[in-house]
Structure 1
């Protein structure tokens, strides 16, 4: 099938080129979890700060939000049109911003890579120093906290890990929940 857009109940929906993977919503139940409030200070590298806060804790994966704060430097990607029939959209070249950047929102997932090491993923919206809106996939190891502390709330859970796996429908690697002991 060729990837395309369809109208469904007045909503524009993208139909990927691969076979539909149903159900698209996967869930797992966990017996217990732990909530963290992480406050990262001026000039802190966000990936390093989040991983330092997680070090020594038992968890399978985590999800959370950027609650408030700012950045002095960041890099993010947006989706762009490609010339590939099976993958007509992909992440474009990084957009780099410097200066006073204010977060509007952000969603963070802490998954696991093939070696069971933490894998950070984040999509966020933010304003640059001129008030222009931006948003996309943040590169957390390039994100540096600005003059306002960056406040992140994470919910850690055990016995479930988000693991990066190829997805036949989208032709991307996606984070899938799998049953796994916390480490």
Structure 2
């Protein structure tokens, strides 16, 4: 009844294609939980800005909220059901918009299996034409504009986030892992 009143479609039901995993969400606790705010300047990609600013703070893994700012160029795509059922979801074709206003986003900094920094981000934005959109933000294709983007950061110092293959979704996912000893 609520769906009909609000005119909204029913949410999609997702069935994981791989073997059932009794613990779906891995969690670890960081005793320090350093928090700070960054102002990401214009002219660089979100990926470059976040990775560099966080590296300067000694942070390799973090959870972030991104707020406001202008995006000179914004790359994004949408997660779509995989028609083959082989994986949980697949990303649609990338889209590019210019002159977007960033409304809100959540981002996670971690690393690939080889140790390369990875920034995963979902967000909402307003296009130059006024349409409100959202999706998976392609941080390496998104350039901050004249008004800086604010990042509210929680550093994860006692463990790290790493992209690993997940059997249940059959996709690479960012998961908490014991910190690797570098030396």
TM-score, structure 2 as length reference:
0.85
Aligned counterparts of 2:179 and 2:92: Cα–Cα separation in 1: 33
> Does the C-alpha gap of structure 1 residues 82 and 157 become closer, same or farther in structure 2, counting only changes over 3 Å?
closer
* 1:114-159 CA-partner distances (Å, limit 9, x unpaired): 2223211101111101111211111111111123211111111212
Provide the rounded CA distance (Å) in 2 between the counterparts of 1:97 and 1:66.
18
Aligned to 1:4: none
Instruction: Note the aligned Cα RMSD (angstroms).
Output: 2.1
Write out the 4+ residue segments of structure 1 that deviate beyond 4 Å after TM superposition. Answer: none
* Runs (5+) with no aligned partner, structure 1: 1-9
SS of alignment partner, residue 108 of structure 1:
strand
Q: Distance in 1 between matches of 2:38 and 2:21?
A: 35
Deviation for aligned residue 1:182: 7.6
Mapped to 1, the partners of 2:162 and 2:74 lie a distance apart of 25
1:31-180 to 2 correspondence within 5 Å? Answer: 31-87=31-87, 89-99=89-99, 101-180=100-179
The 8 Å contact of residues 60 and 160 in structure 1, kept in 2 or not, is answered as no
Give me the whole-angstrom Cα distance separating, in 2, the residues matched to 1:88 and 1:115: 24
What SS does the corresponding residue of 1:54 show, helix, strand or coil? Answer: helix
Q: When you count strand as a share of all residues, which structure comes out higher?
A: 1
Q: Residues 120 and 182 from structure 1, CA distance in 2 versus in 1: closer, same or farther, beyond 3 angstroms?
A: farther
* Partner Cα separation in structure 1 for residue 160 and residue 170 of structure 2: 21
TM-score (norm 1): 0.85
